[in-house]
Each structure stands twice: as structure tokens, then as C-alpha cells.
């Protein structure tokens, strides 16, 4: 299924789901119970085909794919995660939240759960395809689907049926979309040499960061010394471009970020991420973060940003599976 058609199919479902939840007599938190009942009658075949198309495109373009699974219990949540990951041929990593220091938690009376899956590494510790299970107090049941195609657009579709890939749908071969224009920068005509100024996607993530090539390896990969002090070894060449070349996909960057980058004297082109933001004690940082928790069932658009700032471990290490209030010392 072409990308445009997949967008239309999933957007139509998303809008109808929101409409069901927004009815005056809708039941459950945010109209969730009414929306859940409505989703049981949705035609799964086109939804599954659309999800496969966008997931395959995201993987093809090295984009991030996130799933947010709202389930009745851990058993249902984990089973859904396995079916979606298998059907979409996604990477499999680690599952956190069902043990404490290696000791399994009794999940029999844990209640509703939310599983957050990420196809790309998040913190440098977990492998691609890792997921975190936590408790969930809402009434929605289904899957938030958030594929990044690196084309400047933001996509999140909710709340897709938990059973979308049950039975025949799960066994169907993955749809491979027609070849699409590359959204990552092509390698430079001349090979990059040590000392060359470049922009690179640190850790394979979407933003581009400025730095310089510190070494070129025999396999063509590059060691990068970033301007913010980070070092990265053996970076694949498709994640590196000359500093003067424009970014192929630069969505989700606010105008303030572009201005900040320009003032810093680096990455002044429209759409490039700021290189460094220094915060003083008491400053507030607002950014487009992890939106897989976006609310549904409201009369007006409503988005709840859910994200973490992870500091280096020697300063503070956030415990897995829960959010702590961190104080600051002078």
C-alpha cells in the first residue's frame, strides 16, 4: 500500500475513533470504553496493510518506530507486543518492568499495563527493539502507532485494535512499499577525510549534530568528534554528510531551535537541530518529545508530552520502570 493511502486509512480510523470517544454519552475515562467497543467492528484488513506499509518504510529509512500498548494485563500486553513485532518484522530487544534486580514480579494482580516499544536505541544501554512495561490507569485498550518516516511529517495513530495481527493478519507476508526517494543524505562525491567538518546522526537518531571526522576506518565507517565533546566510533557513512550539505529530512524542529543554531554559528540552515542548549538552574526546556502517550477523546486537540531528561550516570541514574522527582543542588 502506498504511503499516502496508508496515511489516509489510518487517519480516517484515528478520526473516527476520536469521534466515538467524544460522543456526549460516551462511557469511560475520556470516552474510552465507548471507543473500545467501536473499534471491535473496524475492518482490520486495510488497517493491517496500512500499518505494514508505514512500518516497512520507517525501517527502510532508518526511522524510529514506537508502539504504545494499552492492555488489560501483562499477559495480554506482552502477547500483543510479540504479535506486532513479529508481524512487522521489527527488532527484538529487552523487556523491562517485570522484575526487580532480576527477580520476577508477580503480575497476576498487577492490573492494566502500558508497554512502550522503541525500534531504535534510547539511552545507549538498551538494544534496538526494547520495551518498558508499567502500570496504566486509563480505560483505552489498543495500540498507539508512531512511525517516523524522516520526511518532515509527524504520524501517530490511535488506538488501533490489540488484535490487529491475530490469526491470518499476523501470518500475512510483510508488505514492502515501492521504492521511495532517499531521505538520508547521499555520501559525498569525494570520500570524507580526517579533519572534515560534518553533520552526523549520533546513535542513528534523527537529529543531525556538528562535528569533525577524527578517523576513517578500512570498512568506510567514520569516527566522529562532536562539537559538544562526545565521541562516536565506526559511524556508518549514510549517517554522515558534509557540513555544507542540506539535511534531507528535518521535521520537528521549531523556529526557535533554528535561530539558536544560527546564533551559535553552526547549522544555521533551516530545519537543522540546535547543537547545544545550556540551561541554568530554574530554566525550563520545552520540546517535541515522545508523543506516544498523546491523549484521545477530547473535543479539541490535546497532546500530553511525556519525556525524560537522562543525566550521565555519575550524576543521577533514573530507576527503570518509574518516574522520580529529581531535585537540584546549588
Q: Which CATH number covers residue 116?
A: 3.30.360.10
Nearest to 198 by CA among 240, 248, 229: 240
- How many independent structural domains does the chain possess? 1
Nearest to 5 by CA among 141, 241, 175: 175
Q: Which residues have CB under 8 Å from 11's CB, separation 6+?
A: 157
Asked whether residue 288 is domain-assigned, the answer is no
Q: Are strands 130-135 and 95-96 parallel, antiparallel or unpaired?
A: parallel
Q: Are strands 113-118 and 130-135 parallel, antiparallel or unpaired?
A: antiparallel
Residue whose cell numbers read 526517494: 181
Of 168-172, 175-179, 251-255, 275-279, the poorest mean pLDDT is in 251-255
Asked whether residue 215 is domain-assigned, the answer is no
Asked whether residue 28 is domain-assigned, the answer is yes
> In the chain, what is the greatest distance between 2 CA atoms, to the nearest angstrom?
66
**pLDDT for 104-123, tens place per residue?**
888 888 888 999 999 888 76
- Distance from C-alpha of 109 to C-alpha of 16, rounded to nearest angstrom: 33
Instruction: Say what percent of the chain tops pLDDT 90.
Output: 24
Nearest to 169 by CA among 58, 51, 15, 79: 51
Asked whether residue 95 is domain-assigned, the answer is yes
Q: Are strands 240-242 and 113-118 parallel, antiparallel or unpaired?
A: unpaired
Asked whether residue 137 is domain-assigned, the answer is yes
Asked whether residue 307 is domain-assigned, the answer is no
Asked whether residue 23 is domain-assigned, the answer is yes
Q: Which domain range does residue 39 map to?
A: 3-171
pLDDT of residue 285: 66
pLDDT exceeds 80 at position 220: yes
pLDDT of residue 71: 92
What pTM was estimated for this model as a whole?
0.55
Q: DSSP per residue over 234-270, as a string?
A: EE-GGGEEETTSPPS--TT--HHHHHHHHHTTS--ST
Radius of gyration of the chain from Cα atoms?
Answer: 21
- Distance from C-alpha of 25 to C-alpha of 153, rounded to nearest angstrom: 34
CB 1 within 8 A of CB 49: yes
Element (H, E) at 7: helix 3-21
Asked whether residue 162 is domain-assigned, the answer is yes
Residue whose cell numbers read 534523527: 206
Nearest to 54 by CA among 158, 152, 176: 176
Cis status of the peptide bond prior to 224, with omega within 30 of 0 = no
**pLDDT for 284-330, tens place per residue?**
766 554 444 444 444 444 445 455 555 555 555 555 444 444 444 44
DSSP symbol at 248: S
- Distance from C-alpha of 324 to C-alpha of 86, rounded to nearest angstrom: 33
Amino acid at each position: 500500500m502506498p504511503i499516502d493511502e496508508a496515511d489516509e486509512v489510518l487517519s480516517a480510523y484515528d478520526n473516527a475513533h476520536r469521534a466515538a470517544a467524544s460522543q456526549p454519552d460516551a462511557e469511560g475515562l475520556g470516552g474510552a470504553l465507548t471507543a473500545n467497543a467501536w473499534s471491535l467492528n473496524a475492518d482490520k484488513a486495510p488497517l493491517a496493510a496500512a500499518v505494514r506499509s508505514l512500518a516497512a518504510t520507517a525501517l527502510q529509512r532508518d526511522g524510529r518506530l514506537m508502539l504504545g500498548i494499552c492492555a488489560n494485563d501483562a499477559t495480554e500486553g506482552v502477547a500483543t507486543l510479540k504479535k506486532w513485532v513479529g508481524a512487522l518484522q521489527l527488532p527484538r530487544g529487552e523487556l523491562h518492568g517485570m522484575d526487580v534486580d532480576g527477580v520476577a514480579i508477580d503480575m497476576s494482580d498487577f492490573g492494566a499495563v502500558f508497554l512502550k516499544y522503541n525500534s531504535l536505541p534510547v539511552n545507549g544501554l538498551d538494544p534496538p527493539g526494547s520495551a518498558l512495561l508499567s502500570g496504566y490507569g486509563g480505560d483505552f485498550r489498543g495500540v498507539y502507532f508512531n512511525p517516523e518516516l524522516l520526511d518532515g511529517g509527524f504520524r501517530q495513530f490511535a488506538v488501533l485494535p490489540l488484535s490487529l495481527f491475530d490469526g491470518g493478519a499476523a501470518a500475512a507476508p510483510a508488505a514492502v512499499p515501492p521504492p521511495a526517494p532517499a531521505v538520508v543524505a547521499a555520501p559525498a562525491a569525494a570520500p570524507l577525510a580526517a579533519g572534515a567538518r560534518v553533520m552526523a546522526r549520533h546513535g542513528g537518531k534523527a537529529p543531525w549534530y556538528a562535528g569533525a571526522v577524527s578517523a576513517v576506518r578500512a570498512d568506510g565507517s567514520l569516527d566522529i568528534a562532536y562539537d559538544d565533546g562526545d565521541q562516536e566510533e565506526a559511524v556508518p557513512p549514510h549517517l554522515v554528510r558534509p557540513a555544507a550539505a542540506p539535511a534531507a529530512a528535518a521535521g520537528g524542529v521549531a523556529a526557535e531551535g533554528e535561530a539558536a543554531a544560527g546564533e551559535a554559528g553552526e547549522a544555521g540552515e533551516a530545519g537543522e537541530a540546535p547543537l547545544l542548549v545550556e540551561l541554568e538552574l530554574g530554566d525550563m526546556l520545552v520540546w517535541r518529545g515522545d508523543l506516544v502517550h498523546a491523549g484521545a477523546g477530547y473535543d479539541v486537540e490535546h497532546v500530553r508530552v511525556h519525556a525524560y531528561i537522562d543525566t550521565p550516570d555519575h550524576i543521577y541514574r533514573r530507576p527503570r520502570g518509574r518516574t522520580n522527582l529529581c531535585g537540584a543542588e546549588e
